[in-house]
Amino acid sequence: MTVAMLDPGSRAEALRDPSAVIVQLEGISKNFPGVRALGNVDLTIRAGEVHALTGENGSGKSTLSRVIAGLIQPDTGKIMIDGRESVVESPAHALDLGFVMISQELTLAPTLTVAENIFLGRLPRTRLGLVDWARLEVDATKALSRLGVHVSPHAIVSELSVELRQEVEIARALSSNARLLILDEATSSLSEAATARLLNLVRQERDAGMAILMITHRMPEIYAVASVATVLRDGRLIATVPLPETGEADLVRLMVGREISDFYGKREIPAGEKVLEVRDLCTPLGILKPTSLDVRRGEIVGVAGLVGSGKSEFGMVLGGAIPGTGSVKVDGRAVRLGDPRRTIGAGIGYVPDDRKASALLLVRSVAENFSLAWADRLSRAGILNTRLERSEVGGGIKRYRVATASAGASIATLSGGNQQKVILGRTFRRKPDVLVLSEPTRGIDVGAKSEIYRMLQDAAQDGAAVIVISSELPELLGICDRILVFFEGAVLAEFDRGEATEEAIAQVAVAGSRRQPQAKDLSGEPQ
């Protein structure tokens, strides 16, 4: 008998028992065409415990979580629920068992309101069986307030930012009667402030007896809330370790199978001549107010700010993704705003923050998504050179360590991190004069992050001007020469590398205060 089938008193008693095993996986294996996703993996999840599941992209983390959530069935192995061998037949069955999953790949209905999405499938009803809209609004407001999210329950989801959509997804999960919460890179789209709020809720739910499986690459998050970690590599179980007795460096070594020294790889690269000139760049609706800056060759400039601060819009206008006014010049040549093709031709490489909506053709292959940005270089007289394409794509898969069964596999079958590698790889391959990267390491494991940071340094050393828009302040502090902070649509402060701190940046981003920062040494491993 599962806890979901117990009476409320028995359920509460079970959840209060910190030693209660909710789910136990034994010898779980799963194969996809040409790929062994999981091989003989064991995992035990207990009530009142945050269990971190970590490893590099393609290690099998998401596959294992999908098995627990009833999204896929294992080829071999046993699933024990409350001590009894069971089958999680479907996501609906998982929900009946009290298993709720929050994924980085959003599952919201874009045309419905925030409130409708939060309670989708369980809308409150009147005695007549009609939707109780007044109660729905009240319940949705409570669910959002619990997360500290300020958004109208009547807002249409498609009109929200990526972060707000992710927070709606989280609100939906936490509003259910869950006893096992699976967080699959749930913070990948969240700002530092939103992440902190979610982690506080995780602590509260853990202390109330909920079991939490937390899939993440972010070391600070793991050590902030988890007590035990299971490490996967290439679909195999490497180790399950107690975190109080396991240092961060040891955990990373288990994940990647090697030491990672000089994580950010920051180099002293002399700035060259001015290559990017931005004057009075803004959006018609005023989300981005007139913004001006120059960036030199060899510079890496960070952009920080909260959701709605204008930082994302700044990147989108530069990348040609949305219309804007003002002027942008690359090497003295004017760039036509709002035209992605002209932007690429002018020497600007742009990576958006929402890969599924803005950067990938999900119904196409890995090869097609790689070569999407290289079509002009792979074709002559409109005819694709397939031999050259195979060579370039094969080299890209190898260089950027994309875990895929083949170049012909659907891009939709790849993990979020591997999809991101494809986007980054094809952008870097063009060797643009200016790189504009919005959340470039979202969903990327620590090993791949270190490689991407080195790629950024290589691009800067080769003479590119690099702009990194990121919600991860340690990332910006570790790789950037200077950091711009957006507040209410405009750049409110700029910090040089030697004076920037997380506290000083956060003070500007949150409060709009230009408090003078204290100098800080930014070299070394991530905090």
User: In this predicted model, what pLDDT tens digit does every residue of 455-510 receive, in sequence order?
Assistant: 899 999 999 999 999 988 889 999 999 999 999 999 999 999 888 998 899 889 88
Whether residue 89 is contained in a domain is answered as yes
Whether residue 352 is contained in a domain is answered as no
Answer with the one of 408, 429, 450 that is the final residue of a domain: 429
Q: Taking 50 as the threshold, does the pLDDT of residue 211 lie above it?
A: yes
Q: How far apart are CA 68 and CA 181, in angstroms?
A: 11
User: 340 and 435 share a domain?
Assistant: yes
Residue 385: pLDDT band with limits 50, 70, 90: confident
Average pLDDT score, the chain: 86
Whether residue 80 is contained in a domain is answered as yes
Whether residue 296 is contained in a domain is answered as yes
User: 30 and 77 share a domain?
Assistant: yes
Q: Are 255 and 445 in contact (CB under 8 A)?
A: yes
Q: Distances from the Cα of 448 to the Cαs of 217, 264, 379, 420, 443, in angstroms?
A: 10, 11, 31, 10, 10
User: 198 and 74 share a domain?
Assistant: yes
Helices (H), 430-496: 446-461, 473-479
**pLDDT average, residue stretch 13-31:** 77
Whether residue 412 is contained in a domain is answered as yes
User: 341 and 393 share a domain?
Assistant: no
Residue 378 lies in domain: 360-429
pLDDT the model gives residue 523: 36
pLDDT the model gives residue 371: 84
Answer with the one of 128, 146, 176 that is the final residue of a domain: 176
Q: How far apart are CA 101 and CA 452, in angstroms?
A: 29
Choice among 62-66, 165-169, 193-197, 458-462 with the minimum mean pLDDT? 193-197
We report the CATH number of the domain holding residue 86 as 3.40.50.300
Q: Which of 472, 498, 482, 448 is nearest to 263 (CA)?
A: 448
Q: Taking 60 as the threshold, does the pLDDT of residue 8 lie above it?
A: no
Q: Taking 50 as the threshold, does the pLDDT of residue 308 lie above it?
A: yes
Whether residue 355 is contained in a domain is answered as no
pLDDT the model gives residue 303: 97
User: 13 and 93 share a domain?
Assistant: yes
User: 442 and 520 share a domain?
Assistant: yes
User: 407 and 456 share a domain?
Assistant: no
Q: Which of 350, 242, 296 is nearest to 465 (CA)?
A: 296
User: 386 and 507 share a domain?
Assistant: no
The 10s digit of each residue's pLDDT in 350-361 is 999 888 778 888
Q: Are 279 and 326 in contact (CB under 8 A)?
A: yes
State residue 93 phi and psi, 5-degree precision. -65, -40
pLDDT the model gives residue 17: 53
User: 226 and 246 share a domain?
Assistant: yes
The 10s digit of each residue's pLDDT in 213-262 is 999 878 888 999 999 999 999 899 999 999 999 998 899 889 888 766 67
pLDDT the model gives residue 416: 74
Domain count along the chain: 4
Q: Which of 503, 450, 445 is nearest to 478 (CA)?
A: 450
Whether residue 354 is contained in a domain is answered as no
User: 424 and 396 share a domain?
Assistant: yes
pLDDT the model gives residue 110: 87
Residue 208's SS3 state is coil
pLDDT the model gives residue 2: 33
% of the chain residues with pLDDT over 90 = 46
Q: Are 342 and 319 in contact (CB under 8 A)?
A: no
Choice among 98-102, 449-453, 502-506 with the minimum mean pLDDT? 449-453
pLDDT the model gives residue 6: 33
Q: Taking 70 as the threshold, does the pLDDT of residue 145 lie above it?
A: yes
Answer with the one of 229, 256, 283 that is the final residue of a domain: 256
User: 329 and 219 share a domain?
Assistant: no
Whether residue 205 is contained in a domain is answered as yes
pLDDT the model gives residue 12: 41
User: 342 and 437 share a domain?
Assistant: yes
